[in-house]
Amino acid sequence: MRHFSTLDAERERDLFLHPPRPVDVTAGRDELAVALGATLYCPATRERLAGDLLRLARRGVLSAVACLEDSVPDHRVAEAEEILVRELAGLARTPEWRDGAPLMLFVRARTPQQLLRVVERSGVGLDCLTGFVVPKFGGGGQPSPDEWLEAVSTASERAGRRMWAMPVLESRDVAHLETRREALFAIRDVLDAHREVVLAVRTGATDLSAAYGLRRPRGATVWDVRVVADVLGDVINVLGRADGSGYPITAPVWEHFSSGERVFRTSLAARPFAESGSVGLREQLITDDLDGLVRELVLDRVNGLQGKTVIHPSHVAVVHATSVVTHEDFCDASDVVAQHGGGAMASTYRNKMNEAGPHRVWAERVLARARAFGVAREDTTYVHLLQAQDDAWRAFTRSPEGARA
């Protein structure tokens, strides 16, 4: 697997100082977690799930979730299981999958028992799974966090390889102030006891907002919803520490994909689009409300979150374009890690001070992201990367292979 593999070699050379490196699905936690990028959710009721997943991989998706939980009505759960097991078996037999998994695939189960039932029934299809998304992690009820992670460990034993867990923090004991502290420390203890199977901690902004009867509108980011932003801050404080005890934490879902009436003018700067000759792309982003996604992604990264849960393929290119390390950040990070014994220095761009001590972990994380998503050339912006992905997808859909897909 490799990010931006949809680009031809010439376009890649034009855009990247250092192109993304291949991602091995058997790699360690930190490498895989940073490479998740935009994690796309698909309901397991999709009759052509295997074909849909292959099509998403051709569009640049490197991580996807087949959901048996909130996206499936209660009366269709058994049907969704049947479809999932059938489609996993079909997926495992496709040439694309036999040549090496084109994406990381997870299943979001409702219960530990359902998780293990899918494992038992999947047969050869189990080879397609990277792991499981664990919903409503915490909550003080049943199933307990321990039961969930023990089920993933059991799944690993039955598969003969490590399968990963991505717990979702979205329960009301995490949302509510009077129970949050105790809940987060209890969750940390459980995660620490099962650290070997925890790939990343996911955050469920939709359920956290629901605890207060809220839903963020178009034009607002999750960081504008103060009670939810407070929860995210505490999650980062307890579970995202940079002392070696923390876990990768992914950014919550962006749930909009078509525009309604706009209340506020866009804050999406026009200049990068004008300079790259992509004015039409800017208008399309605004029409689709993806300018709000760009803003939220910037704030996610400022607050230490990585990747993004998404629900529409149009979101993927935006997440990945903004995940590429800028030339400026790469220069800063490289300078910091090269400096031993502390000290401060002016940045290569002569616009900030880099401190070898305080900025070291930030720099190491930037360089890890650079390996997964690449480093842009000095004159490459996220707009160029967006346009390149859009052009590649349009070219594929016009090709004979795209017509058959």
pLDDT in tens, 315-326: 999 999 999 999
Question: Residue 118 and residue 345: Cα distance in Å, rounded?
Answer: 54
Please tell me the predicted confidence (pLDDT) of residue 166: 98
Structure tokens at 213: 């009867």
Please tell me the predicted confidence (pLDDT) of residue 259: 62
Question: Residue 34 and residue 29: Cα distance in Å, rounded?
Answer: 9
The string of pLDDT tens digits covering residues 175-219 is 999 999 999 999 999 999 999 999 999 999 999 999 999 998 877
Residues 6+ apart with CB under 8 A from 14: 377, 380
pTM here is: 0.93
Question: pLDDT averaged over the chain?
Answer: 93
Would you say residue 234 has pLDDT above 90? yes
Question: Residue 96 and residue 296: Cα distance in Å, rounded?
Answer: 34
* Helix intervals (H) in 18-137: 29-35, 49-58, 77-92, 95-98, 112-122
- 339-344: long-range pairs with CB below 8 Å, 24+: none
Q: How many CB atoms lie within 10 A of CB 352?
A: 11
Q: How confident is the model at residue 404 (pLDDT cuts 50, 70, 90)?
A: low
Share of the chain above pLDDT 70, in %: 98
Q: Which residues pair with 67 in a beta bridge?
A: 43, 108
Structure tokens at 304: 């230490």
CATH for 9-15+24-323 is: 3.20.20.60
Q: Count how many Cα atoms sit within 13 Å of the Cα of residue 7 in the half-sphere of its side chain.
A: 24
Q: What CA–CA distances, in Å, run from 323 to 52, 90, 166, 185, 252?
A: 24, 32, 20, 30, 15
Asked if residue 300 lies in contact with residue 308, where contact means CB atoms within 8 angstroms, the answer is yes
Share of the chain above pLDDT 90, in %: 77
Please tell me the predicted confidence (pLDDT) of residue 135: 94
- Give me the mean pLDDT over the 142-162 stretch: 94
Would you say residue 403 has pLDDT above 70? no
Would you say residue 402 has pLDDT above 70? no
Please tell me the predicted confidence (pLDDT) of residue 260: 64
Please tell me the predicted confidence (pLDDT) of residue 348: 87
- SS3 of 311, please? coil
Asked if residue 281 lies in contact with residue 273, where contact means CB atoms within 8 angstroms, the answer is yes
Asked if residue 304 lies in contact with residue 203, where contact means CB atoms within 8 angstroms, the answer is no
Q: How confident is the model at residue 308 (pLDDT cuts 50, 70, 90)?
A: very high
| Beta strands 375-376; 16-18: pairing state | antiparallel
The string of pLDDT tens digits covering residues 80-135 is 999 999 999 999 999 989 888 899 999 999 999 999 999 999 999 999 999 999 99
The string of pLDDT tens digits covering residues 253-284 is 998 876 666 777 788 888 888 988 888 888 88
